[in-house]
Amino acid sequence: MAHPTFPPLYVSHGSPMTALEASAAKAAWERLAQRFASGPTPPTAVIAISGHTLTREPVLLAAPQHEAVHDFSGFPAELYALRYSAPGAPALARRVASLVERAGLPLHVLPEGGMDHGIWTPLRTFFPEGHVPVLPLGWPPHWSPSQLFALGQALAPLVDDGVLILGTGAITHNLRLWAGGRGAVDAPEIPESAAFRTWMAERSAAADWPTLLDYRRQAPHAAHMHPTDEHLLPFFVAAGAAGTKPVGLRLHESVTWGHLGMDIYAFGPQAQALQPL
């Protein structure tokens, strides 16, 4: 029996407070949740690649059950009271390991669990009942975009099995801009952020992957918008999972604090089905 398939996604998760507070991005998450709920079946599993689960080599967390990890500090008590759990996917981990190793890439499988906030905050909205199995994939932040794109390509056969490949991070992420005070959450967007986000959207829609994979050198204000780029790199894993030259469509765009981009992308031929979001 064929499974419904889902385009790989890159979701900017922003502050952990997105789990509690209303925002344009949270509303987009809720619309995505409606799309998932309206289909004949949900994804068979989610492989989640977050900007917070960083490892020296790729690692699958293949515990039979996962719980939310509150991997942050300085937030209101009600955020720490939130819980989210989901089954793991140990059997899927074995198939993933086979695919990745066949691609000539290293991969470790550990019987450990846990979902960082880059994973559980969107999943809590997408699948509030916690019924979709989750397989967190830790990844090396020192890998290049090309290496991570290749990792995504190794995962591509799983899309036909109904697996949702979900990368999370932030399309722009320079927390140093908060130095001296956060300012207003609805502050006007700074020009550097707008230029970088527009460049990413245009190059993605053109499927210009040679340029995108060289974004650090070619994108406007790349180092300013990503002093370290672990929040952008999951974008390339999700993109690679859609094939050799996938179109990347920006489904949602918004900014908080004037510089923290909350854009959402879908990749590949099925991305169009999620528009408008």
Q: Are 137 and 48 in contact (CB under 8 A)?
A: yes
Residue 108 inside a domain? The answer is yes
* Between 114 and 4, the higher pLDDT residue: 114
Residue 1 inside a domain? The answer is no
Q: What is the CATH number of the domain that holds 195?
A: 3.40.830.10
The answer, yes or no, to whether residue 178 has pLDDT greater than 90, is no
The answer, yes or no, to whether residue 196 has pLDDT greater than 80, is yes
Residue 100 inside a domain? The answer is yes
**Per-residue pLDDT tens over the stretch 5-50:** 999 999 999 888 889 999 999 999 999 999 999 888 999 999 999 9
Alpha carbon 62 to chain centroid, angstroms: 19
Residue 3 inside a domain? The answer is no
Side chain identity at residue 33, one-letter code: A
Residue 190 inside a domain? The answer is yes
**Per-residue pLDDT tens over the stretch 134-156:** 999 999 999 999 999 999 999 99
275 pLDDT band (50/70/90 cuts)?
Answer: confident
Question: Looking at the 3D structure of the chain, how many domains does it have?
Answer: 1
* Of 4, 6, 15, nearest in space to 168 by CA: 15
**Per-residue pLDDT tens over the stretch 31-42:** 999 999 988 899
How far apart are alpha carbons 256 and 16 in whole angstroms?
13
Q: What is the pLDDT of residue 182?
A: 61
Q: What is the mean pLDDT of residues 99-105?
A: 97
Residue 4 inside a domain? The answer is no
